[in-house]
């Protein structure tokens, strides 16, 4: 299920032109989950919302662990979403191939039930009904959140659209994914979010959108447990995504320069993690034969790093939980 040499070369070319080239173009820094280990070989995964950020990192690291990964999102090489960013699902699929998995890009707007239904029909046809891992990372609220604005002054239409892009998309995707997992009597649904608890996150609409996946995982876990299927929420720490690098006016090769910059919270960027860190955390979790014991919980990249001895792709071990506690941020 690995790429041919020709495909490997083409995926390397695509990846080298994509975001975070300073990491990806130097394989010597890519510390694998375990030397020559592919614990998810033969497994089929779906990362919904895989175009960029955490979704891209998760897809790539599931590939590193040997999985076949369906990478969905709205932006392709031929068409951008309303976010108007350059990252594409084809690039993400190339990352999966680069790291040793099989990447399959499928354009899907997960707010559209019919598109989601067709996605699962494709998976059923191509994988003989097999689906082992589902990652709900659909977001799209980056330009909708009005920080520092009270909810009654915030754009109501943007606030409600933010909910639609989380509640609706995650629920539609899980609705069509669950029957495939239940039919096999095994599987894992991951809800990617921001934080592990129900505290306020600086904006009412943002808080609702990020707390919802935690409860989705808890509630789905209750209904899925008799079928041997787990649902778990997972959060990254301070994510060094493409957008955050742009915000701090740096790139992956000089990201530490941002720490001494003039942007708000720049000093905390020192404890940031690449999107591949939470990707390795989720890959390790999915490789754990006892992941059912964690079903219904809200976990973190740094906590899973402690448990599974994970390092980030740059060789660091960021621990946002410990850092936040020490600096009064938790």
pLDDT-derived band at 330 (thresholds 50, 70, 90) equals: confident
Model confidence at 69, in pLDDT bands (50, 70, 90)? very high
Q: Alpha-carbon distance 19 to 251, whole Å?
A: 9
What does the pLDDT read at residue 1? 36
Name the E strands within the chain: 44-48, 68-73, 102-107, 133-136, 187-192, 229-235, 298-300
Q: Looking at residues 234-251, what average pLDDT do you find?
A: 96
Concatenated DSSP letters of 199-257: ---SSHHHHHHHHHHHHHHHHHHHHHGGGTEEEEEEE-SSB--HHHHHHTT--TTSGGG
The token pair that represents 236 in the structure block? 């990254």
Q: How far apart are CA 155 and CA 34, in angstroms?
A: 47
Distance CA 263, CA 28 (A): 32
Res 4: pLDDT: 41
Least reliable range by pLDDT among 11-15, 32-36, 110-114, 234-238: 32-36
pLDDT at 10: 63
- What pLDDT is attached to residue 293? 98
Residue that wins the pLDDT comparison between 118 and 14: 118
Which pLDDT score, from 0 to 100, does residue 83 have?
Answer: 85
CA–CA gap between residue 266 and residue 254 (Å, rounded): 14
Residue 25: what pLDDT?
32
What's the pLDDT at 320? 97
Give me the mean pLDDT over the 115-122 stretch.
Answer: 98
Q: Are 163 and 188 in contact (CB under 8 A)?
A: no
Question: 102-107 and 68-73 as β-strands: parallel, antiparallel, unpaired?
Answer: parallel
Task: Kindly list the distances between the CA atom of residue 64 and the CA atoms of 95, 118, 211, 239, 279, in Å, as whole numbers in the listed order.
Answer: 9, 27, 29, 20, 10
Backbone angles phi, psi at 8, to 5 degrees: -60, -45
For 76-111, the pLDDT digits (tens) are 999 998 888 999 999 999 999 999 999 999 999 999
- Specify the DSSP element, H or E, that contains 280: helix 275-287
> Which residue reads 């494709």 in tokens?
122
Euclidean distance between CA atoms 145 and 221, whole angstroms: 29
């Amino acid at each position: 299920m690995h790429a041919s040499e020709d495909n490997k070369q083409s995926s390397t070319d695509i990846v080298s032109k994509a975001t975070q080239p300073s990491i990806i173009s130097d394989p010597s820094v890519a510390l694998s989950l375990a030397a020559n280990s592919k614990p998810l070989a033969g497994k089929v995964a779906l990362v919904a919302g895989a175009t960029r950020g955490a979704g891209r990192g998760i897809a790539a690291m599931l590939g590193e662990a040997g999985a076949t990964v369906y990478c969905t999102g709205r932006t392709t090489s031929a068409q951008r979403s309303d976010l108007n960013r350059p990252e594409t699902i084809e690039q993400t699929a190339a990352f999966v191939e680069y790291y040793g998995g099989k990447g399959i890009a499928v354009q899907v707007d997960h707010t559209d039930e019919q598109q989601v239904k067709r996605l699962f029909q494709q998976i059923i046809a191509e994988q003989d009904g097999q689906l082992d891992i589902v990652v709900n990372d659909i977001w799209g609220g980056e330009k909708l959140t009005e920080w520092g604005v009270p909810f009654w002054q915030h754009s109501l239409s943007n606030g409600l659209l933010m909910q639609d892009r989380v509640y609706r998309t995650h629920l539609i995707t899980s609705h069509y994914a669950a029957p495939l997992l239940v039919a096999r009597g095994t599987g894992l649904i991951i809800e990617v979010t921001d934080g592990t608890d129900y505290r306020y996150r600086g904006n009412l609409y943002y808080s609702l959108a990020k707390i919802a996946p935690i409860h989705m995982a808890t509630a789905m876990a209750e209904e899925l447990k008799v079928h041997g299927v787990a649902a778990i929420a997972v959060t990254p720490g301070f994510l060094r995504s493409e957008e955050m690098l742009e915000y701090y006016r740096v790139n992956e090769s000089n990201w530490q320069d941002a720490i001494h910059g003039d942007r708000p919270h720049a000093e905390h960027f020192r404890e940031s993690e690449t999107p591949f860190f939470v990707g390795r955390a989720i890959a390790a979790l999915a490789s754990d034969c006892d992941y059912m014991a964690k079903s219904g919980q809200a976990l973190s990249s740094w906590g899973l790093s402690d448990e599974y001895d994970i390092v980030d792709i740059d060789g660091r071990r960021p621990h946002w939980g410990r850092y936040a506690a020490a600096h009064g941020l938790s």
